[in-house]
Amino acid sequence: MPDEKETIIKLEGLTKKYGFREAESFALNNFDLTVKRGEFIMIMGPSGCGKTTLLNVIGLLDTATSGTYFLNGEPVNRIKSRKKARVRSKKIGFIFQNFNLIPDLPIIENVALPLVYSGFHKTRRLLRASETLERFNLKDKEYYMPYQLSGGQQQRAAIARAIVSKPEIILADEPTGNLDSHSSHIVMEELKRIHSEGNTIIMVTHNPNLTSYATRVINMLDGGIDTDIKTVEDSDLPEPVVVRNRRKKTSKKQKPALPNLRRSKKKKLKKRGKR
């Protein structure tokens, strides 16, 4: 079993630039970051400082111009694009500000969508999605369309979609940005619960009131880290919940069903012979 406090993400000298010569600009500039398993990191900073670009690179939705990104000790730049898609679907869950639910699919199918890329059969996908929605008190809404849900309910459905494949890392880009204070509180409590189970969460926000949920707060400026404050020691981070599927072993006495049938047939033949 791996060490729960091991490094799950490591960025070394990451640079992402746009434009050329006079028009050149940097979204990330020689960016270094180490993320331990089980951290809840909140990233803050002014618009245009590189927060969303950072999430996109970590989530394998974008690639850096230069530098190295290690995911579970493996350099991402050596992973082929097809394998990146598999890694993204299994290890990383995304939560967006605008929910990004498909409008013409019922909630249960929206939540089950990441499992399509993981190769789950349809029945198994819907069962897993239904179980996840029940966790967020949305089971009675699973066949509603997205427009029939409130903003808070849509975001909870989006969180359910992010965790349905049981990823190691949750990336959240302003998940409370379009919600009122009550809905924001509910969403943050759900994220807190997910984090308490050992998931690693990296969240971008403009709301300083939400930093109380974090174990670490990073302020970005001009594509780099301005301040980096840990509020919880690595040794106190939550440990991943390990669920082991135990198969029932059939005893040797239960297996020989056929021989018993043969014996019963032999007894019947003996009785006929006596008659």
Sequence-distant (≥ 6) Cβ neighbours of residue 206 within 8 angstroms: 44, 174, 177
pLDDT at position 5 is: 67
pLDDT at position 273 is: 57
pLDDT at position 263 is: 54
Q: What tokens does 63 get?
A: 């690639």
Which has the higher per-residue pLDDT, 261 or 112? Answer: 112
Q: For residue 200, which amino acid is it?
A: T
- pTM here is 0.82
Asked whether the predicted pLDDT for residue 125 surpasses 90, the reply is: yes
Residue 220: name the closest of 1, 19, 12, 27 by CA: 27
Asked whether the predicted pLDDT for residue 110 surpasses 50, the reply is: yes
For the segment 142-157, what is each residue's pLDDT rounded down to a tens digit? Answer: 999 999 999 999 999 9
The answer to whether 154 touches 99, Cβ cutoff 8 Å, is yes
pLDDT at position 260 is: 52
Residue 188: name the closest of 65, 131, 90, 177 by CA: 177
Domain ranges of the chain: 7-102+170-274
pLDDT at position 202 is: 97
pLDDT at position 239 is: 84
Residue 72: name the closest of 8, 11, 4 by CA: 8
The answer to whether 105 touches 129, Cβ cutoff 8 Å, is no
For the segment 55-98, what is each residue's pLDDT rounded down to a tens digit? Answer: 999 999 999 999 999 999 999 988 887 788 888 888 999 998 88
Q: Is 38 helix (H, G, I), strand (E, B) or coil?
A: coil
Asked whether the predicted pLDDT for residue 4 surpasses 70, the reply is: no
Q: What is the mean pLDDT of the chain?
A: 86
Asked whether the predicted pLDDT for residue 2 surpasses 70, the reply is: no
For the segment 214-248, what is each residue's pLDDT rounded down to a tens digit? Answer: 999 999 999 999 999 999 988 889 987 654 443 44
In the chain, pLDDT over 70 holds for what percent of residues?
85
Asked whether the predicted pLDDT for residue 114 surpasses 70, the reply is: yes
Q: What tokens does 208 get?
A: 């300083």
pLDDT at position 70 is: 95
Name the CATH code of domain 7-102+170-274 (choices 3.40.50.2000, 3.30.70.20, 3.40.50.300, 3.40.50.620).
Answer: 3.40.50.300
